Structure 1
Amino acid sequence: MMRDKEKTLGNLIDKCKTAFISYVDPDGFPITKAMLAPRERMGITEFYFTTNTSSNKVNYFKKNNKASIYFVDNRFFRGVSLIGTVEVLEDQDSKKRIWQEGDTMYYHGGVTDPDYCVLKFTATKGRYYSKFTNEDFNIEEV
């Protein structure tokens, strides 16, 4: 059992360069995509990702906001899966908040590019995997 969930999981998450996000297509099937690590996180409850407004996942999230994100530490064969919801943020304050130098590589129009948006993932529960065991938890318990 984890003694300090937020610290243990936060350390794992911060070491990951890639996150996996899953969402549901219109036919009810899950789709999982690799994404760059979140730009910002608030504990293990809120995560902020950049993505293209024109992407399929954004269109799907606008219809069904249920999602999960997964972070894995291949070296020690451990990971955390978080379940929650996604909000698509297109306001300038949210976009400016996580904008980084070099993002024009992906969003040529800069921070005001209409094809740039922020995904805010809010976790409600999760599962931690380590040493061939798992532990379920609710976020309000953390």
Structure 2
Amino acid sequence: MPAETAADWTKFWELIKDIKFAMFTAHASDGHMHSRPMTTQNRSDDRANVLWFFMARSSEPVLDIARDASVNVAYADPASDAYVSVAGRARLVDDIAKKKALWNTGVQAWFPGGVTDPDVALIAVTIEHVDYWDVDTNKVVQLFKIKKAAVTGVPPRMGEHRELHSR
């Protein structure tokens, strides 16, 4: 696989920017991995190597990451055939300025006590590894490629797959 570029990172951010919910997966106390839908809070000018989430400080996901910081955040947009998996390390960030910068009406709906509510936890996921798949053909072409692959035995190339590592 070719070396990653700044354009690959830009594409990663473009792929996830309009996906409203991600599945945030952490190791639970029972040893299993548990996934929960969460909304990524990054702004368009906040595209470093961190994903931001608001959670209830007393919630299971926050307790899970206190035990084991390794998490996965998965995004899927079947309409545009874009799929992204992010592996990283999560941590609680007590920074009221950052909370205020990321606060929005969607978060307010979950935390009516506002940004200073003591149960509001800001979680940063430092990105360690990204896999993304971006299918670049329409459904008809995809079906043709799949049928051709079934006949020829050669797996179809359906689009772009990239692996990115923390910068």
Larger Rg: 2
State the SS of the aligned residue for 2:17. helix
Match for residue 55 of structure 1 among 56, 59, 74: 59
CA contact (8 A) 2:41 2:102 kept: no
1:118 aligns with 2:145: no
| Cα distance in 2, alignment partners of residues 77 and 102 from structure 1 | 26
1:126 shift after superposition: 1.5
Corresponding residue of 2:162: 135
Q: Deviations over 1:15-38 (max 9, x none)?
A: 111111110012321111111232
Aligned length, in residue pairs: 140
Match for residue 10 of structure 2 among 7, 12, 15: 7
Unpaired segments ≥5 residues, structure 2: 136-157
| Cα distance in 1, alignment partners of residues 95 and 164 from structure 2 | 32
Identity of aligned residues (%): 21
TM-score (structure 1 length as normaliser): 0.84
Q: Deviations over 1:71-91 (max 9, x none)?
A: 212112221111010111234
The 4+ residue runs of structure 1 with deviation greater than 4 A are none
CA contact (8 A) 2:90 2:123 kept: yes
CA contact (8 A) 1:69 1:81 kept: yes
Deviates more, 1:78-87 or 1:127-136: 127-136
Over the residues paired in the alignment, what is the CA RMSD in angstroms? 2.2
1:68 shift after superposition: 0.9
1:38 aligns with 2:38: no
1:102 shift after superposition: 5.9
1:17 aligns with 2:20: yes
Alignment of 1:38-117 (within 5 A): 38-40=41-43, 42-43=46-47, 45-101=49-105, 103-117=107-121
| Letter of the 1:137 counterpart | L
TM-score (structure 2 length as normaliser): 0.73
| Letter of the 2:20 counterpart | K
**Structure (1 or 2) with the greater strand fraction:** 1
Q: Deviations over 1:30-74 (max 9, x none)?
A: 111111232447436111111111110001111111101112121
